[in-house]
Amino acid sequence: MSTYEGENAILDLIDRIAEHPQEPIVTRDINKVANLEFFPTVFVVERQDDVIKTSGAQTPVNSRRLFVSVVSFIEGTSGEAAPAELTTFQRSLRRVIYSSETPPSIGDYGAYFQEHAASQVVYPPLGNNVIAQEIVLKIIYKEQVARLFVAPTV
């Protein structure tokens, strides 16, 4: 489970992905199965969340690094065309994540997205011409630890 700031960054990422021109189904529920009725489908999976630097004794602030996988499934028009179509989809996906219309920063806690890795292209046994790829994003952000010691207002 991520921190408050990390959760906000993930929700911002999901909102950006939902703006993709092909209107993919976007979900965090890894128990859902991508199927031929709902392509393209993008799974957003939270990974490791590390404290990389701590500062401030009175009001601590943790610099954190959160990894999030964005796994895209599409159905290509043919087996030969599917890799190129996935490349086009992923290019558009990156464009909406890093869109110049949306500030590259997230929220007011110094967060930003940075691509960390991408998997090989896979052909899951979900039907003809289905192809998938994972992009791992690194989200760097600051956690305001002092916030944890303030009683929430109702």
Beta bridge pairs of residue 143:
62
- At 138 the pLDDT is 92
User: What predicted TM-score, i.e. pTM, was given to this entire model?
Assistant: 0.83
CATH number of 4-148: 3.30.2000.10
Contact call for residues 72 and 132 (beta carbons, < 8 A) = yes
pLDDT over 50 at 77, yes or no: yes
> Residues 25-75: pLDDT tens digits?
898 887 777 666 778 989 999 999 888 888 876 777 888 899 999 999 999
Q: Which residues contact 81 (CB under 8 A, 6 or more apart)?
A: 129
**CB–CB of 126/36 below 8 Å?**
yes
Q: Is the pLDDT of residue 152 over 70?
A: no
Cα torsion 139, 124, 38, 23 to 10°: value is 40
Beta bridge partners of 114: 138
The residue ranges of every structural domain in the chain are 4-148
Mean pLDDT, residues 11-31 taken together: 88
